């Protein structure tokens, strides 16, 4: 099936466009997510929720798709759309951090690495799922390898990011 005829392609594209819109809206302070909910700002909670979904569902997806191959399509959709919504939440958090005034500007180390990893994961996942580069630039198995490698990078960096921001390292 051509990607432009696939409703999942359009739904995934719409989530990405909403993520971009929210990123811009938060960055330029058109949308305020800097209010506190308990000990953290709302935008930070969104980043935590997005990260937790990815951190727990991705390995669950990997295991469950092998155990229940007949449910692969439903699990793949949950993986794709759950991770895209998580990307949107993480984008709001990232924009909130990047838009802070100079005197409160964060140390960008692990956060920027994580966001770049997320951009690569979303890009490679989107390209692979909707077969947009099928054999044109590089073979699909390289895209899959890159996607899996960056997933490992995401896990390693998120551990350091969390431990550092909690003051444990």
pLDDT digits (tens, 9 = 90+) for 96-152: 999 988 888 777 778 899 999 999 999 989 988 888 776 665 566 677 788 889 999
Q: Which domain holds residue 97?
A: 3-165
Residue 77: pLDDT band with limits 50, 70, 90: very high
Provide the domain count of the chain: 1
The pLDDT value recorded for residue 24 is: 98
The pLDDT value recorded for residue 86 is: 98
β-pairing, 40-41 vs 36-37, is antiparallel
pLDDT digits (tens, 9 = 90+) for 19-50: 999 999 999 999 999 999 999 999 999 999 99
Contact 46, 33 (CB under 8 A): yes
Contact 133, 143 (CB under 8 A): yes
The structure's pTM equals 0.90
Contact 68, 62 (CB under 8 A): no
- Which residues, in sequence order, are CB contacts of 67 under 8 Å at separation 6+? none
Residue in this structure with the two tokens 């995934």, named with its chain if needed: 12
Positive or negative, the CA dihedral 57, 120, 100, 163 is positive
pLDDT digits (tens, 9 = 90+) for 43-71: 999 999 999 999 999 999 999 999 999 99
The pLDDT value recorded for residue 136 is: 60
Give the whole-angstrom CA distance, residue 97 versus residue 27: 8
The pLDDT value recorded for residue 79 is: 95
Residue 1: pLDDT band with limits 50, 70, 90: low
The torsion defined by the Cα of 133, 136, 137 and 140, in degrees rounded to 10, comes to: 60
Give the whole-angstrom CA distance, residue 8 versus residue 10: 5
DSSP 105: P
């Amino acid at each position: 099936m051509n990607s432009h005829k696939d409703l999942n392609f359009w739904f995934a594209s719409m989530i990405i466009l909403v993520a971009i819109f929210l990123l811009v809206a938060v960055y330029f302070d058109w949308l305020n997510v800097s209010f506190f909910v308990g000990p953290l700002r709302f935008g930070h909670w969104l980043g935590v929720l997005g990260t937790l979904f990815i951190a727990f569902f991705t390995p669950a997806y990997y295991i469950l798709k092998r155990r229940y191959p007949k449910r692969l399509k439903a699990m793949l959709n949950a993986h794709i759309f759950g991770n895209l919504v998580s990307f949107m939440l993480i984008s709001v958090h990232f924009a909130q951090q990047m838009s802070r005034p100079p005197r409160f500007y964060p140390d960008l180390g692990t956060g920027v690495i994580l966001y770049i990893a997320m951009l690569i994961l979303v890009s490679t996942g989107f390209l692979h799922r909707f077969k947009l580069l099928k054999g044109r630039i590089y073979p699909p198995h390289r895209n899959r390898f890159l996607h899996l490698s960056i997933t490992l990078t995401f896990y390693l960096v998120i551990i350091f990011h969390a431990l550092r921001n909690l003051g444990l390292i």
